Structure 1
Amino acid sequence: SATELETFSTVSSIHCEILVPQGKMIMQDKLEKERNDANNYVEEYVYEMRDKLHGIFEKFVNESDRDALSLKLEDTEVWLYEDGEDQPKQVYIDKLVELKRLGQPIQERYTEFEERPKAFDELGRLLQQYMKIVEAYKTKEEQYDHLDEAEVQKVDRMVNDVMIWMNSKMNQQNKQSLAVEPVVKTTEIQAKAQELFSACNPVVTKPKPKVDLPKEENPSEPNGPVNTQENPEAQPSGTEQVAADSADATEAKPDMDLD
């Protein structure tokens, strides 16, 4: 009825009036949390980077760059507690990007320093593995005597080329200051190891061809004499033969007169 519709409309309006402010409050709370988080990220970066600049990052940045970043961190800290105390989220994001533009290269040089030796070790391990297999092939070890000679020669050449590359990069890097970009990055070393593996592994892991075992011959015929007669007559037994011989002898004996 019209009255029911009016009542429903009134209730719906009241319900919407309640929900709309609640929705706005939830959104405002969400935005405020994101703004505070962005502020905290900047503050955390300032404290963390300042400590590391005079700690684990010290030898990975030259003095002038360290002084410039230290000053920037100090200015940012002051800003956070003054003009930057209540700024929009994007302002904090931009501030963090600006700081990382100076700090990220230092962080990356430190990470490279930590990871590069591991990558070189892995590459060296692969090289040693393939060198041993090539040597085993040359000394005609049975395990590898089925490998193709031309393919093994390719492996040998590639191993030598990669060994020269690795030694060259290691020597150059050892002469390079840690405060500048590395001569070779970990990703390059890993890519070289993958290239070596992809080229050599299919050759050295090639399975031996299967050898067919000789087929078993049909079992031989049973030993013993073979009767070639199609329908052999039954042979008398030994007892029957003796009885027959005895009868023949009796018949052949001449009659004797008895007085």
Structure 2
Amino acid sequence: MQDKLEKERNDAKNNVEEYVYDMRDKLHGLLEKYVSESDRDAFSLKLEDTENWLYEDGEDQPKQVYIDKLSDLKKLGQPIQERYTEAELRPKAFEEMGKQIQQYMKFVEAYKMKEEQYEHIDEADVTKVDKLACEAMMWMNSSMNQQNKLNLSVDPAIKIKDIQAKTKELFSACNPIVTKPKPKVELPKEDAAAEQNGPVNGQEQGQKEGTGEGATESADADPASETTEKKPDMDQD
């Protein structure tokens, strides 16, 4: 148990040290654009003080002291890292939303051109898709313009989760309309019954016709028997 506790304490201390080195490098590299100069200088100074502390008073402290020290540092570093992540992923989120808007606008245009595949959809539903797609386009353009006016070193006006939520909302409202299947065409009951019984009635008709031919042949045979009966009269002549 003592060994386990000592390992956890050392791990906590190492986490602080690693964070100090990592953020100190990134503040003058990857994250430089996402923090103001004054905040960068203040944060760099705090990182330097923490590093010095680790090799002096912080050399042998309880695990919780290191955990608290790391938490204090992240309060300054986390917002900078989040601004970087948002800036990196935001264009992709807007791109996905734009693709979906274009898809629904093409659907509306195809309906207006009276394409057969959409003729079963109600006009009111198409109008709804048109309205939602236009509203989403206006929201996206406004958000992009608003964000472009901001410096990268401040928190974004529109976050990725906001864009994704708007995209999901648009999909949930429009997709059931756009993908609505055509209704199945069912034959009237009388026609369906006629199709099913057609071959049977035809067979019965054939049987009836066959019976009629047999009767005709029997009738033709009767005159022959009458001729045979008249031969004695011819002998008398």
TM range (shorter): 0.7 to 0.9
Which of 150, 155, 165 is equivalent to 1:191?
165
For 1:12-51, list aligned pairs within 5 A.
26=1, 28-51=2-25
For 1:26-49, what per-residue CA distance to the aligned partner results, in whole angstroms no more than 9, with x for missing partners?
2x2121111111100100000000
Matches within 5 A, 1:1-259: 26=1, 28-213=2-187, 214-215=191-192, 216=195, 217-219=197-199, 220=202, 221-222=205-206, 224=209, 227=212, 235=218, 241-242=223-224, 244-245=226-227, 247-252=229-234, 254-255=236-237
Letter in 1 for 2:81: Q
- Unaligned residue ranges in structure 2 (runs of 5+): none
Query: Which structure has the greater CA radius of gyration?
Result: 1
Deviates more, 1:61-70 or 1:207-216: 207-216
Report the AA paired with residue 85 of structure 1: E
Distance in 1 of aligned mates of 2:57 and 2:173: 60
Gaps in structure 1 of 5+ consecutive residues:
1-25
Deviations 1:88-138 (A, max 9, x none): 111111111111111111000000011111111111111111111111111
How many equivalent residue pairs? 226
Give the TM-score normalised by structure 2.
0.87
Once superposed, what is the RMSD of the aligned Cα atoms? 2.4
Structure 1 distance, partners of 2:140, 2:173, is: 17
Aligned counterparts of 1:121 and 1:242: Cα–Cα separation in 2: 98
Q: TM-score of the superposition, structure 1-length normalised?
A: 0.80
**How far is 1:166 from its partner?**
0.1
Q: What per-residue deviation string (whole Å, max 9, x for no partner) do you get for residues 51-102 of structure 1?
A: 1111110111111011011111111111101110101111111111111111
Instruction: Specify which structure has the higher proportion of helix.
Output: 2
- Distance of aligned partners of 1:227 and 1:95 in 2 relative to their CA distance in 1, 3 Å threshold: same
